[in-house]
Chains A and B, each alone.
Chain A
Amino acid sequence: MKKSYITAILLVVFLLTGCWDQRLLKDVRLLLGVGIDYQKGNKVIMSSVVTRNLEKKPPELISTTGSTPRDARINLQRKLIYVPDASKNRIVMLSEALARKGSILEVLDVFYRDPRSALNAKIAIVKGKAKDFLETQSKDNPDLTAFLDRQIVTSEAATIVPDVDLQSIRTGILDPGEDIMMPYMGLNKSNVEILGGALFHGQKLTGTLTPGETTVALLLANQKNKQTTLTLPIEKGVQMTVNILQSKRKLTIQPTGQSLKVSIDLQMNAEAIEMPFGDFSDQKTVAKFNHTLSEEINKEADKVIKKLQAANCDVLGIGRQLIAHHSSYWNQIDWNKEYPKINITSSTTINLTRNGILE
């Protein structure tokens, strides 16, 4: 009986003193998205999309300034009745200017260090200011501010932007043999749009690609997602849209002495999804289509590779291959200096295997 008294007393003690970590859902304002801008004087402006409590309205956009993102979040708390909580954050948007400063991991540290933060949140680079971007969105379409990440997820599936999140960009940035590409968004008049891919060298934004180029870059990097469409000129004034069904990439790397030869062999099966005319029942015509399409993609690929090298962004993971298979060569060179200079050739073949329900 003595034992049960002790248990009862302990239980009461726990009950009276307990709930140290209790953090009721009703007492927080959920942070659904964050935009971070650079401000002169080494400060950041954080624009936070927070849910409203006690009234049924779309989330609210509040901007605060601080010397670090954490500091800005603490300042945000001063403006709210309830505690802002970042554990359900879905998207982080960094302004172009901030990304060009070349220390995004420092800015993002608050998201990595906190055990509660969502590591699977999406990340994107914004053309211009993230604050303006979010403000326009919340003014025109307040209901959608909470769903900006959906736009990125949809584009990922269509291979328009790379499939990355907070966790995976850190892996990429900290890997010496690889660089990352992030979704690039911006305003077109007052519309929120995907503008393509933002190229990084290490932690620094060094260039951008258009949506079409991003798709090709992703194909070259063997990161084809569920759906991939390309629109390419097939004759003068005629465009054909194809959906890539299958893509196989082969990366051959030959270090010969001091120079490095890289060739990318890309083979794809495609389905024609828009073609105003043309006879798919004729083998010769199809062969001609295949040839033209391959050439067009090759041209595009060369352009993309040039841009990637200019941005010193090894999104293809050539450095990683060197580490893995040619480590002696890798140890000799400084990859950061070497990469823009190396010779990368690509050969792409496209093969139309389906043509919809019309001939």
Chain B
Amino acid sequence: MIDFGSQRDLEDYIKATLTTDDLLTKHLTIDQLNLTIYYIDTLTDIDKLNQQILSPLLQEKGENLLNTIHSIASKQMDSADQAVKYLLRGSSVISLEEQDGQLSLWNLDTGSAFHRSISEPVGEKIIEGGHEGLVERLSINLHLIRKKITNKDLIVRYYRLGTHTDTEVALVYIQSLVDQDVLDEVTERLANIETDSVISQAVLEEIIEDNPLSLFPMMLNTERVDRVAANLAEGRFAILIDGLASVIILPVTFFSLYQSPDDYNARWINGSFIRLIRIAGFLIATTLPAFYISVISFHFELIPNELITSIHESVQHIPYPPLIEAFIMELTIELLREAGIRLHTAIGQSIGIVGGLVIGDAVVRAGLVSNIMIIVVALTAISSFVVPSNELRLSVRILRFPLMVLSSIFGLLGITFGFTILLIYLCKLESFGKPFFYPVSPLRLRKLKDSLARSSFTFKRYPKG
């Protein structure tokens, strides 16, 4: 079975392959049978090894010993290289020299199961509903998902990716709900991945998505179990990576990025209202500064009579053109956000206060920026934080800069053209063969009420696709 003459040869081979110091071996002789147990100390749960392997083995004799090994081992292996692979994943390997001199290799799962306790993801808090978040262990994540969806059609497919990292990746979907074309596409792309290491989901995403240069995220990342389950139930795919708490969901549409599990926890009218507010937030976050710039420097006749004098007064002393003024403030806000994000909560808050209140006030007093511009920029920043998806939030923030530049050259005309290009781009984008801007483009009126708004479950048929 094994191409090694003796235990000694095998041990030499394994030790030569794994020169690391934490590889340990134990030699046992039970009832004239020679056993060698290999394991990597740092990956192995010693208690498990003792309780589940050593103590049963030491109690048995002769024929029974083989049976015991059969019953406790998860797999018999046929090459030493395979054994090395399993050792690296935390298994213990037993090599057994039978009486006829034949060597056999057995793999026993003794991996230590350290993991974080299940808690609510910090970045995706919701008000009510399930608060379970995913953790960094693939098997636990799968367990959490399976618990949510007890469906015989829930399929898990494992892949091992990364020539260096050899990371375990799982593709999860509900067979009866997914689109077969998309399934073929996804499995094909996953199977053909050639990469060195998979240490973050972005690596995987960039390799499998249609358009790696896309401005918009073509996949959704989430750490919420209920969000994963809801998306699976809508016929999407989830890709879980061992060692990462976030799950990739695909294919997504623009509007599904704007949905949050909260919508479905609220009553449908409230849920729809919140969702429409978010879409309005998108429009505000992308166009408001541009609109303000074009109004203040091209078309101030748009300002109502009652407002014009006060706006006129507030911009009079500003030395810079509105575009520069806006850039100063936008930059300040982005810096503040970036500064606050990684700091301890307490410091983060004080940065918010220093930035928001002190700088905001001082900048107006110093006459660098007009107070209307502060309002505009603040409103824009708030609107951009409304987006439930982290990556989309970043895209939305970037989008407003080209629009601002265009509007400072062509006024409203520039905004229209900028926005038109954005719309064309959205119409063009496809995610795994599915139009990204669905159901607005191509237009499906019936689906619209469940993507722009959230229609009641009573009206809702069973979703598909």
Which A residues have a C-beta under 8 Å from some C-beta of B?
Answer: 11, 14-15, 18-19, 21-26, 28, 30, 51, 53-54, 56, 87-88, 90, 116, 118, 146
Stretch at the interface among B53-61, B301-309, B336-344: B301-309
For A28, the chain B residues whose CB sits under 8 A away are 300
Contact of B312 among A15, A19, A51 (CB under 8 A): A51
**A21, A22, A24, A25 — most chain B CB neighbours (10 Å):** A25
Query: Residue of B at shortest CB range from A24?
Result: B297
Known: A25-B312, A30-B308. Is A18-B317 also a contact (CB below 8 A)? no
Q: Which of B2-10, B69-77, B154-162, B403-411 contacts A (4 or more CB under 8 A)?
A: B403-411
Instruction: Count how many chain B residues have C-beta atoms less than 8 Å from C-beta atoms of the other chain.
Output: 23
Determine if A15 and B405 form an interchain contact, defined as CB atoms under 8 angstroms apart: yes
In the assembled complex, B113 has its CB within 8 A of some CB on chain A: no
Contacts of B317 in A (CB 8 A): 26, 54
**Option from B301, B322, B409 in Cβ contact (under 8 Å) with A116:** B301
- B316 interfacial contact with A, CB 8 Å: yes
Identify B411's interface contact among A21, A88, A146, CB under 8 A: A21
B318–A19 CB distance below 8 A: no
Smallest Cβ-Cβ distance to A19: which chain B residue: B409
Name the one of B297, B305, B312, B315 contacting A22, with C-beta atoms under 8 angstroms: B297
Please report B residues at the A interface, Cβ cutoff 8 Å. Answer: 296-298, 300-301, 303, 305, 308-309, 311-313, 315-318, 321-322, 405, 408-411
- Minimum C-beta distance from A241 to chain B (A): 32
Docked-complex contact A19 and B408, CB < 8 angstroms: yes
Instruction: Name the contact of A25 in the complex, choosing from B311, B409, B410, B411 (C-beta under 8 A).
Output: B311
Are A24 and B296 in touch, CB under 8 angstroms? yes
A93–B73 Cα distance when bound, in Å, is 101
Among A18, A53, A90, the residue within 8 A (CB) of B409 is: A18
Asked if A90 contacts B296 (CB within 8 A), the reply is no
**A86 — nearest CB in chain B belongs to which residue?**
B301
Q: B312 and A30: CB pair below 8 A?
A: yes
Can you list 23 residue pairs at the A/B interface with Cβ under 8 Å? A14-B409, A18-B410, A19-B297, A19-B408, A21-B298, A21-B411, A22-B297, A22-B408, A23-B300, A24-B297, A24-B315, A25-B311, A25-B315, A26-B315, A26-B316, A30-B308, A54-B316, A54-B317, A87-B301, A88-B300, A88-B303, A116-B301, A146-B309
Q: CA of A23 to CA of B410 in the docked complex: distance in angstroms?
A: 11
In the bound complex, how far is the Cα of B372 from the Cα of A26, in angstroms?
13
Contacts of B316 in A (CB 8 A): 26, 53-54
Q: Which residues of B contact A90 (CB under 8 A)?
A: 305
A25-B300, A88-B301 known, 11 other contacts, Cβ within 8 Å: A15-B409, A18-B408, A19-B409, A22-B297, A25-B297, A26-B312, A51-B312, A54-B317, A87-B301, A88-B300, A90-B305
For residue A284, give the distance in angstroms from its CB to the closest CB of chain B: 51
CB contacts (< 8 Å) of A22 on chain B: these are 297-298, 321, 408
Q: Is the CB of A25 within 8 A of B296?
A: yes
Q: How far is the CB of B401 from chain A (nearest CB, A)?
A: 12
Q: Are A24 and B322 in contact (CB under 8 A)?
A: yes
User: Of A26, A53, A90, A116, which is in contact with the most chain B CB atoms at under 10 Å from its CB?
Assistant: A26
Q: Which chain B positions have C-beta within 8 A of A23?
A: 297-298, 300
Tell me the minimal C-beta distance from A7 to chain B in angstroms.
Answer: 11
Residues on B with C-beta less than 8 A from A11 are 405
Which A residues are CB-close (under 8 A) to B312? 25-26, 30, 51
Which residues does chain A contribute within 8 Å of B318, judged by CB atoms? 26
A15 CA to B321 CA in the complex, in Å? Answer: 13
Contact partners of B305 in chain A: CB under 8 A: 88, 90
Separation in Å of the B313 CB from the closest CB of chain A?
A: 7
A13 to chain B, nearest CB (A): 11
Contact B300 A87 (CB under 8 A): yes
Question: Complex Cα distance A116/B302, Å?
Answer: 10
Per the bound structure, the CA–CA distance linking A30 and B311 in Å amounts to: 12
Asked, given contacts A14-B409, A19-B408, whether A24 binds B311 with beta carbons under 8 Å apart, the answer is no
Using CB atoms, name the residue of chain B closest to A58.
B309
Residues of B within 8 A of A118 (CB): 301
Q: Which residue of A lies closest to B303 (CB)?
A: A88
Q: How far is the CA of A22 from the CA of B299 in the complex (A)?
A: 9
Which residue of chain A is the closest to B405 with respect to CB atoms?
A15
Bound Cα distance A87, B300 (Å): 8
